[in-house]
Amino acid sequence: MIYQAQFMKYLKFPALSVILGANLAITAIAPPVLAQDTFISVKSTVTFTCNDTEATIKGKNGPRVTVGTTNIYVGYQQVSSTNKNPRIIRFDNGVKKWCRTDYETTSDDSTGYGLLWNGSDVLYGVFSSTGSQTGDDFRRFTTGRWLSSYGTGGGAKVAIIARINPSNGDVNYATFLTAKKLSDGKTNSLVVTGLSWNGKSLTVEADSWWSPRRADKNSMICVGTSPFKYTGVFGGDLKQVSWAAATGCY
């Protein structure tokens, strides 16, 4: 009986090693993310104007990043009965330093719903788009970046990631982040749900509908029901995606 117990004891360890090895192999596929001290807010968008007080905007409980006595808020303004335009504003000690209304001024329904700030020179904003319209929109910031346009179709809500100068609100550059239908190549919906920054790369988490994009921009093949939990790792300059994956997709 003692011999049998010892034999069973040693028999278990190779199986455990195989299981651990398999788990480690799966985990190693994803690049490590070593988060720096950052201030992140991704949540439901709210409406405000550049003439609103900080107390008014803060009371709406929308996306906001705070460093010391500085607060940056992002949202939108309802500029007509059928049109929203994004807004972003910075307050220092309760005093407005800047407010930007010029990122997108077309008839596209665009809002702001996410921010990541390292408290210094790295600020990213997350915005939405429902299609390309004539006039000034985020495409003038996306030349040479990972995705330079909304793509074909319209109506589906997609994301825009923009690198912003926190001292004045200028957009340095931006990229679209969309899903791409396998059936016809048209653009499908994608909503950002989380951000992280490690000093060199920006990791974006999102809910994607059929179908998430691979790092090479082609459609993934998925099994299951939308939305799929998607993760993409961007270079800080938003020119490339080094790694992309989604649950239930390959």
Averaged over 4-23, what is the pLDDT?
A: 32
Q: Is the pLDDT of residue 129 over 90?
A: yes
What pLDDT is attached to residue 34?
Answer: 53
What pLDDT is attached to residue 239?
Answer: 98
What pLDDT is attached to residue 33?
Answer: 54
What are 197-247's pLDDT values in tens digits?
999 999 999 999 999 999 999 999 999 999 999 999 999 999 999 999 999
What are 21-69's pLDDT values in tens digits?
322 222 334 555 555 558 999 999 999 999 999 999 999 999 999 999 9
**Could you tell me the domains of the chain?**
38-246 (2.40.128.630)
Averaged over 118-134, what is the pLDDT?
A: 97
pTM over 0.95: no
| Distance separating alpha carbons of residues 72 and 167, to the nearest angstrom | 11
Q: Is the pLDDT of residue 19 over 70?
A: no
What are 141-193's pLDDT values in tens digits?
999 999 999 999 999 999 999 999 999 999 999 999 999 999 999 999 999 99
What pLDDT is attached to residue 30?
Answer: 56
What are 93-124's pLDDT values in tens digits?
999 999 999 999 999 999 999 999 999 999 99
Cβ atoms within 10 A of the Cβ of 79, count? 14
Residue of higher predicted confidence among 27 and 91 = 91
Averaged over 6-11, what is the pLDDT?
A: 34
Nearest to 216 by CA among 236, 229, 232, 200: 232
